[in-house]
A and B are shown apart, each in its own frame.
Chain A
Amino acid sequence: MQITIRLLASYRPYLPEAHDAHGGFAYEAAPAATVREVLHSLPIPPTDRCTFFVNGLHGRRDQVLQAGDVLTVFPAVGGG
């Protein structure tokens, strides 16, 4: 099923060439894939220090994704 993944901040170098202005790209996930499974398949550094939103909201790593979901992923760094 197709979802969108957005990689932000220092994960941007891992974006595929075809991505939009928001750092988003189409991703073919297995049906009923969990967030954890998708994160593990991404070419980003160790995933336990990353933060993610599912459709902009707080999610769980064992959450099952649905077609059309937007998974935003970025390193847990903090702000100003």
Chain B
Amino acid sequence: MYGWQGRLLRVNLTQGTILEESIAEEDARKYLGGRGLGIKYLLDEVDPKVDPLSPQNLLIFATGPLTSTPAPTGNRYMVVTKSPLTGALARSNSGGIFPTMMKRSGYDLFLFEGRSAKPVYLYVDERKAELRDAAHLWGRRTHEVDAAIKAETRDDASVACIGPAGENLVLIAGIINDCHRAAARSGVGAVMGSKNLKAVAVRGGLKPELYDEEAMREVVREAVGQLAADIKKGSTMRIYGTSYVPDVTNAAGVLPTFNFQLGQFDGAHKINGPTLKDNFLIRNGGCYACPLACARITEVKAEVHGAKFAGKGEGPEYETIGSLGSACGIDNMAAIAKANYLCNELGLDTISTGLTIACAMEMYTKGILTEAEIGRPLPFGDADGLLEMVERTAYRQGFGDELAQGSWRLARQAGHPEMSITAKKHEFPSYDARGLKGMGLLYATSNIGASHMMGDTAYTELFGVGKKVDGLTYDGKADLVKHFQDIFAIIDSLGMCVFVALRYTLDTANGYIPTRITEMFNHATGSNYTPETMLQAADRVYTLERLFLTKAGFSRADDTVTPRMAEPMPAGPIQGEVFDLSRLLDDYYVARGWDANGIPTQEKLRALGIGQYA
């Protein structure tokens, strides 16, 4: 096979066995890879009603056919499983170095079944795989684990691991790779912890064969040439990463502030791109072979900002600046950076951690939670409180045991569901849906719960990439959301990064059509997709994911967002706006070919070639 390695590793943690299995070429072509192959295996092998933290859940690591190829940012992997936070699908995504090394270790996918009796880690070195004892690593933070595994394997190994949060089955725990990158969302770290799998280490030089390397490199040259020209002109992503975004969302009145009670934050200019760059940035970093290199390598120096915020690492990026910053009323960038480093070391999702703490802050402010229950005061803006709660969450210590379950359960127990800013129990990204109606529909219908990476319509509703549409209108948003969900499914299934793939391998000016990305895929794999059939494959992947939810018991009744979105925005440019899902949901189901209850019809499944899943 070309592009794909054509094989996966099936690791049975209960029995301690590792088997190599081939992937049928027909399946690879049909489901693409990454997210697409991941959901196929999950749906084929797991009862969607399974308890996510039981040995019967499957944890899947999935690279794509473009991972470790000349495709720019062809270096992403997906973690696919059933989420213990939401009970729906989990599909978390990360870059760094690990995805490329995983592919070069010889495999497209790793499937982790069962539960190990004792802590172990998997080490794969060019198709030689073994489970190793991890007792000496259990309890340790991710950067220590990374160093220890390299010391006892090879220093060119790349490590993905859980920290104390995943070990403690914290529902908002993630999987950290290369110390600073995270497959963070949906509690995938807890699934890994429930299997007593501490880490996965990979290395190798087994690059996939390409069908037509010269033709692929020609297309890559066009894309990278365009990117290079933009960088020369002064690329915002190169200069600021995503940290420039608070100025944009604040100007538009959609920056989460005090747990989404407001959309503008007085301290926004203190937590923006220039603040990060001027005071904390050491230099840019990047994922393996990425031409953009937008990552922030940063440091908070003790002598400048105080010992309690001192640290170094990568980030924070925008979502972290929103969730652990303005949503918590924190206008201190040093504190946000420290919280970010802590989340990486402990193995926590910054988005869910930030918004769960913000939820607790609102409940404390309104007297719903007391100082005695929390163990300390916890008002908005309290940086000390923020950092203490991040640590407590990872260890389930004191009030941290409550925070560890995420904001939805915390708020429901207190009788205030509107204070949990979630959809399907999954915390919102930092874009207020009252100002971006497409994002609201996205949050309500995403297969993992609220997420921007499941089809970020903010690209056109807010940022104006390709075309600028009005965030406040409902017209056309149902079709727009479906289309964005599909193009993100393509990018996720092929193994690329949205930041480069979206602007340089799709035709954004003419409706975000997957032109170059389909050509690169065809040249790499010897396939014959067109942009149209590639979009259909994406619809197939998206619909399979939806089927998993349907069989797990989800339907229209669960396609909702937090009641807060029905509260008129109190102030700012979008004062008075609400998000009214009822204006969009029926049209969305029609666009998807699902019935009025949000269930994919038999007809639609057959049309997509997945009638056997009916």
The chain A residues found within 8 Å of chain B, CB to CB, are: 6, 8-10, 12-13, 21-23, 45, 50-51, 53, 55-58, 72, 74-80
Contact = CB atoms under 8 A, between A and B. Distances in A.
Contacts, number: 99
B235 interface: yes
B573 A78 contact: no
B473 to A, nearest CB: 8
A56 B252 contact: yes
Contacts of B470: 57-58
B468 interface: yes
A8 to B, nearest CB: 5
B245 interface: yes
B245 A79 contact: yes
Contact of B251 (A45, A50, A53, A75): A53
B319 A80 contact: yes
B456 interface: yes
Given A78-B463, A79-B245, A80-B318, A8 B234 contact: no
Contacts of B268: 22
Given A8-B244, A55-B573, A78 B503 contact: yes
A51 B464 contact: yes
Nearest to A8: B247
Contact of A13 (B234, B237, B469, B503): B234
A61 B470 CA distance: 13
Contacts of A76: 463-466, 468
A24 to B, nearest CB: 10
B574 interface: yes
B242 A12 contact: no
Nearest to A46: B233
A13 B234 CA distance: 10
Contacts of B452: 80
Nearest to B235: A10
Interface string B388-413: 00000000000000000000000000
A77 B235 contact: yes
Nearest to B247: A8
Nearest to B237: A77
Contact of A12 (B274, B465, B499): B274
B468 A77 contact: no
Given A51-B463, A56-B253, A79-B463, A23 B247 contact: yes
B18 interface: no
Given A76-B464, A77-B463, A77-B465, A21 B234 contact: no
Given A8-B244, A51-B464, A56-B574, A78 B269 contact: no
B499 A78 contact: yes
B462 interface: yes
A22 B269 contact: yes
A77 B317 contact: no
Closest 10 CB pairs of A and B: A56-B573, A51-B464, A80-B242, A58-B470, A9-B236, A10-B236, A9-B244, A21-B269, A76-B464, A72-B251
A50 B465 CA distance: 9
B417 interface: no
Given A45-B233, A56-B253, A79 B573 contact: no
Given A56-B252, A56-B573, A79 B468 contact: no
B112 interface: no
Interface string B196-231: 000000000000000000000000000000000000
B239 interface: yes
B459 interface: yes
A28 to B, nearest CB: 21
A22 B239 CA distance: 18
18 contacts: A8-B248, A8-B251, A9-B239, A10-B240, A12-B274, A13-B234, A22-B247, A22-B251, A53-B251, A53-B573, A56-B252, A56-B573, A76-B463, A77-B235, A78-B459, A79-B248, A80-B452, A80-B499
A10 B268 CA distance: 17
Interface string B274-285: 100000000000
Interface in B442-469: 452, 456, 458-459, 462-466, 468-469
Contacts of A10: 234-236, 239-240, 244
B472 interface: yes
B238 to A, nearest CB: 8
